[in-house]
A = this chain, B = another copy of it.
Amino acid sequence: MKIPSSYYISDYKLPLEEYFVFGLSVDCVVFGYHEGEIKVLLVQRDAEPFKGHWALIGDLVEPDQNLRDAANNVLEKLTGLKNIYMKQFFTFGSVDRHPVGRVVTVGYFSLVNSIDYHPIASSWAKSAEWFNINDLPELAFDHQNILSKGIETLKNEVRHKPTGFELLPSKFTLLELQQLYEALLGYKFDKSNFRKKILEMNILKPLNEVKEKVSHRPAKLFKFDEKRYRALEKEGFSFEL
């Protein structure tokens, strides 16, 4: 790359060209929820470095590719899913975090509402699996660190934003919602009070449907009313659980 001389300013130790030597990647912490457990999607690497180790899904960013596109791409390649909730949470750039060179990685977390997706094996991944976030294998690179920060961010975010709904199917019962939050936050709610609190927020749209194929009284199904939430948020409402 040629940089116009007018752009040169005095303080740099190196010629300006030599600052354009960073590699950039994205890594996605993909969260799922199944039967009371928060899961994360990991792949087993089939390429050096760290061949055989479990890792987050991620990839180098193309020089002409935006970060979010890169992250969406990674997820779509592995799961076939588009339009998934995805949020940048932190950037990891330790000098020695990657054995090949200076690679800075931008961490995204995404939430999928079913763990039934069939992860697709790729040239660099032997297999893909969902792991309970409390029972994780050893990870490649600094992915342990990235994953921890991702989990922390998720746990923090679900308390103040209605992000958690992304982990449930679009139609859910109040008990399912409660159990999700119990898994996320690590403590129990009183059933009656949880129901009262969440309904009074007015961000759930009751459906004229009930849960099917249960051997007891079926519960009503609800949908998260995003439009309503956005409107309430503008008036100063803030989601808290």
Contact = CB atoms under 8 A, between A and B. Distances in A.
Given A12-B60, A93-B24, A123-B10, A101 B1 contact: yes
A67 B93 CA distance: 6
Interface string A57-73: 00111111111000000
A56 interface: no
Chain A binding surface, main DSSP class:
loop
A63 B24 contact: no
A21 B63 contact: yes
Contacts of A104: 22, 24, 67, 104, 106
Contacts of A228: none
Interface residues of A, number: 48
A181 to B, nearest CB: 15
B20 A101 contact: yes
12 contacts: A3-B100, A7-B47, A7-B49, A7-B100, A13-B62, A19-B61, A21-B63, A22-B22, A61-B93, A64-B102, A66-B93, A104-B106
Interface of A: 1, 3-4, 6-7, 9-14, 16, 18-24, 47-49, 59-67, 88, 90-91, 93-95, 100-102, 104, 106, 122-124, 159-160, 238
